[in-house]
Amino acid sequence: MCLLLLALHAHPVYKLVIAANRDEFYDRPTAAAGFWNERPDILAGRDLRSEGTWFGISRRGRIAAVTNYRDPASLKPDAPSRGRLVSDFLAGEEEPEAYLSRVDLRGGDYNGFNLVVGIEDRLCWYSNRGHDIHRITPGIHGLSNHLLNTPWPKVSRGKSALRQMLSNTPHPSPEALFEILVDRSVAADDRLPDTGVGIEWERLLSPIFIASPSYGTRSSTILLMDGENRVTFLERTHSSAPDQHRDVAFEFMIQD
């Protein structure tokens, strides 16, 4: 997951809205979102190389998502999979703060990451590049490959679009949310961060939706949770062919 837009208690109908893009190399094998055979309470896609996931929810309302922290100078080639941090929380029983405290004890073993975990609308954020555990406050938030709400162009653009859309409609449509996630606007050079990947890659990675010959936005996910704990979860898997995609959709009530 490389862009996570989140609205917490910022809409009269939906107490939680998440719109997210997963960016990855096209040759990394991936399974589309679905309830896992061995854990039918978990709804998520799956990274078939490391068996983790980037974003998911359980029928008990456990939610988790991970983004990489872009810092190529500190990459460890043999670091454990960050996607397992997501699947471990979804399958576990710990409270969000307790889980993140345990992750912090071994955070240095991993390459840079941001981790959002929570139960229903009680969400927390942690980064092994920031180390403190933060309760996410009501409002509109954005997370990419730096820290929460770092004003990179794609984060600022996405937050603004989500805020405007939610303020204008009592029932935001999934298509309107997906439209935010396909924005291919490239940021001006003077607004680009310098993360050590070079100016050409900074440009390529600056849009909300990324496309290149080898790397890009593989899928987009929408999650809506209303005040009665009804969940709508949609994933759109993007094809390498322009404007072609495959959708899956799920609805369920969170179980006590």
User: pTM for this structure?
Assistant: 0.96
As given in the structure block, the two tokens for residue 34 are: 């679905």
pLDDT at 131: 79
| Domain definitions of the chain by residue range | 3-238
Q: Quick one: angle between helices 96-105 and 83-91, nearest 10?
A: 140
pLDDT at 240: 67
- Single-letter amino acid code for the residue at 2: C
pLDDT at 170: 86
* End-to-end CA separation in angstroms for the chain: 28
Collapsed DSSP state (helix, strand, coil) of residue 45: strand
pLDDT at 245: 86
List Cβ neighbours of 98 (8 Å cut-off, separation of 6 or more).
none
Tell me how far apart the alpha carbons of residues 2 and 59 are, in angstroms, rounded to a whole number. 24
- Single-letter amino acid code for the residue at 213: P
pLDDT at 213: 92
- Domain 3-238 bears CATH identifier 3.60.60.10: yes
pLDDT at 161: 98
pLDDT at 50: 87
As given in the structure block, the two tokens for residue 103 are: 């992750």
pLDDT at 242: 59
pLDDT at 41: 97
Give the chain's residues under pLDDT 70. Answer: 240-243
Tell me how far apart the alpha carbons of residues 176 and 141 are, in angstroms, rounded to a whole number. 18
